[in-house]
Amino acid sequence: MTGGGLGRIGVVTFPGSLDEGDARRAVRHAGGEPVALWHREKDLRGVDAVVLPGGFSYGDYLRCGAIARFSPVMEPLLEQARAGLPVLGICNGFQVLCESHLLPGALTRNDHLHFVCRDQRLRVERTDTAWTADYAQGQEITVPLKNGEGGYVADERTLDALEAEGRVVFRYAGGNPNGSRRDIAGICNEAGNVVGLMPHPEHAVETLTGPTTDGLGFFTSVLKRLVTA
């Protein structure tokens, strides 16, 4: 962790990002220091972790996240993520991580071809990642979900590998909202420092605005990881 006592968590804004403000607020609510990062800059400003927030980067005019993955900020992010920097991709940020090949697979149109917005139950499948240590194995949490292209897909070989390696971090519970293969809501890389998921934990960090405070654990988890790193 950098000096000052608080974990400095960068939140990247791409053209079309919607939820960077909520992500920064979640970091602050967890006790960290949010740092705004602009997609055109290559300097990560010495942050200890990075959040890629939800939205519609570049209007999703190609595949979701396909243009954002070429933004200048992604060059140092990719390098540092591969070296162990904790990175969380939420919704559109998950799409960016897949397009950047930090995570396998892709996100496609919901199988029912409609936008879905609801409070979604998730089952925690893995608790030793940088972003999930404050949860219990098998715990069910509820956070908002809002997407039109949230169906996680991959070939059977990739899906089997994710299962065998324990890299499925979250599954949908109480019904699959978008046709994601094997009810997968979130996955991680082999090292567990990079996590992507479609639902929005940053919208569930305080009782005034969220259906629960179940999302706060993402941000407290990474801050605790930084203290012990």
Query: Catalytic site residue 200?
Result: yes
Q: Which of 39, 125, 202, 203 is catalytic?
A: 202
Query: Catalytic site residue 202?
Result: yes
In angstroms, rounded to a whole number, what is the distance separating the alpha carbons of residues 204 and 216?
7
Query: Catalytic site residue 98?
Result: no
CA 29 to chain centroid, in Å, comes to 17
Q: Which of 39, 99, 188, 200 is catalytic?
A: 200
Q: Which of 91, 98, 99, 188 is catalytic?
A: 91
Residue from 8, 14, 54, 53 nearest 34 by CA: 8
Catalytic residue IDs? 91, 200, 202
